[in-house]
Structures are given as structure tokens and as C-alpha cells.
């Protein structure tokens, strides 16, 4: 006689046991896919972190673009900015100016 409230597959038919183990296998497979699959829970966590990194990178790029747009506008209209670039980057001088070049000594 079986005790009440106790579940066992010993007294069941082979078809019932096969059905039980197939259902258990499917459940384990579904849980594994839900956790570890391409769109599973772990992938969602990793993707959230990646989205956060990309948003930060995007904000930095937008700030740099804003800075470059402002510099571009000033180079179109501000003669002092144009002169500064010509002197610093191109090494140009005005007529009558004397250029002193200091070469560091080698030790």
C-alpha cells in the first residue's frame, strides 16, 4: 500500500514515467534557454551594460561634435581665431616680425 501524499514513479506505467521524464526534460531545456540562450536573462544583463557604455560614449562624442562645430563657426568668421591657427599650426608670421626659435640642448 502506498502512503498518501507521496509522489513516486515506481507504481506508474512505463508510458507515465516516460511522459514525466519528457516533461521534466522540456522544462529543464526551457529554463536553460531562458537563462543562457541568445536572448536569455544573462544576455539581457550584458546588453544593458553595453547599452550604458554606448550611451556614455555617445554623450562624449556629441560633446566633442559641439566643440568642433563651435570651432568651425569661429574659423569662418573670427579673424583672430584664423590668425591663431595660422601662427600655431602652420608657423606663419607677419611681415616685419622676428621669429626666435629655441632648440633644447642635448644632455
> Is the whole model's pTM more than 0.75, yes or no?
no
Q: What number of CA atoms fall less than 13 Å from residue 34's CA on the CB side?
A: 6
- Angle, vertex CA 73, rays to CA 67 and CA 78, nearest 5: 115
Tell me, what's the pLDDT at 22?
93
CB 81 within 8 A of CB 87: no
pLDDT tens readout for residues 37-86: 888 888 888 899 999 999 999 999 999 999 999 988 888 888 888 888 88
**What totals of helices (H) and strands (E) does the chain contain, helices first?**
3, 0
Tell me, what's the pLDDT at 6?
52
Q: Supply φ then ψ for residue 92, to 5 degrees.
A: -80, 150
pLDDT tens readout for residues 22-39: 999 999 998 888 888 888
Amino acid at each position: 500500500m502506498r502512503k498518501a501524499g507521496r509522489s513516486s514513479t515506481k507504481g506508474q506505467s512505463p508510458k507515465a514515467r516516460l511522459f514525466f521524464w519528457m516533461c521534466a526534460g522540456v522544462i529543464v531545456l526551457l529554463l536553460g534557454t531562458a537563462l543562457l540562450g541568445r536572448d536569455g536573462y544573462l544576455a539581457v544583463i550584458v546588453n544593458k551594460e553595453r547599452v550604458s557604455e554606448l550611451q556614455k560614449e555617445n554623450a562624449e562624442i556629441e560633446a566633442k561634435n559641439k566643440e568642433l562645430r563651435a570651432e568651425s563657426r569661429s574659423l569662418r568668421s573670427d579673424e583672430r581665431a584664423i590668425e591663431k591657427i595660422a601662427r600655431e599650426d602652420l608657423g606663419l608670421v607677419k611681415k616685419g616680425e622676428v621669429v626666435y626659435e629655441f632648440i633644447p640642448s642635448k644632455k
